[in-house]
Amino acid sequence: MNTAVYSHIQLMNPKLEEKYLRLEKCRNMLLDELEGLDDALLNSPPAEGKWSINQTMAHLVLVERRMLDYVQYKLKQQEAFPEASFSQGLKSLLLKLALQSGKKFKAPDVVATVPDNIALATLRQEWDEVRFRLEDLLTELPVHLLNKCLFKHPVAGPLTMFQTLTFVQDHFNHHLRQIQQQKQRLLV
């Protein structure tokens, strides 16, 4: 008697899964940390022309949504993707170093427009939806595309999915420092 069980569940590549789970852990820790704060406080900018905590978080959500939209659009086009190269890997490393430097950068126009006021609960819901889409994308990503450049960063250029997730984490960490500093100032 054959007792084999066949599953229809597709598993995510372990390296991508590790990156994804780290992203999720960091995001949930931040959201949980901010949960008890008043939305009026979270929506108050530190200075004229500067983003509030919730605006910064809206930017993070928008960056991830735009990245996902781009990758999903490109995958539907079924075009040939460029292979990862040494120079492209170097640009990815330089992007990482720039984000870790603590230096401030002007957000590209496509991800610079954020609402003046937004509730933390709304941000959590929007971010959840983006992350569910990301999880689906990473789970369904064919193995033969792992070394292909699926996303084009506005400055660093083409990135593999692994490099893209590294960018998303580094971008999150870059803004996390700003959010934590701003939170400290607000609670004094």
CA-to-CA distance for 66 and 42, rounded, in angstroms? 24
pLDDT, residue 9, reads: 60
DSSP structure string for 131-163: HHHHHHHHHH--GGGTTBEEEEETTTEEEEHHH
| 69 found inside a domain | yes
Domain count of the fold of the chain? 1
Nearest to 56 by CA among 96, 116, 98: 116
Q: Decide: helix, strand or coil at residue 83.
A: strand
| 157 found inside a domain | yes
For 63: left if phi > 0, alpha if psi spans -120 to 50, otherwise beta; the answer is alpha
pLDDT, residue 5, reads: 53
| 46 found inside a domain | yes
Give the pLDDT of the chain (188 residues) as one tens digit per residue.
Answer: 555 555 546 788 899 999 999 999 999 999 999 998 999 999 999 888 899 999 999 999 999 999 999 999 999 987 788 888 898 889 999 889 989 998 888 888 888 889 999 999 999 999 999 999 999 999 999 999 999 999 999 999 999 999 999 999 999 999 999 999 999 888 77
| 5 found inside a domain | no
pLDDT, residue 73, reads: 94
Which range of residues forms the domain containing residue 33? 14-186
pLDDT, residue 117, reads: 94
CA-to-CA distance for 151 and 183, rounded, in angstroms? 32
Q: How many CB atoms lie within 10 A of CB 104?
A: 8
45-173-177-55 Cα dihedral, nearest 10 degrees: 10
Rg (CA), the chain: 18
Report the CATH number at residue 86: 1.20.120.450
Q: How many CB atoms lie within 10 A of CB 83?
A: 11
| 116 found inside a domain | yes
CA-to-CA distance for 16 and 161, rounded, in angstroms? 8
| 2 found inside a domain | no
| 4 found inside a domain | no
| 7 found inside a domain | no
pLDDT, residue 125, reads: 97
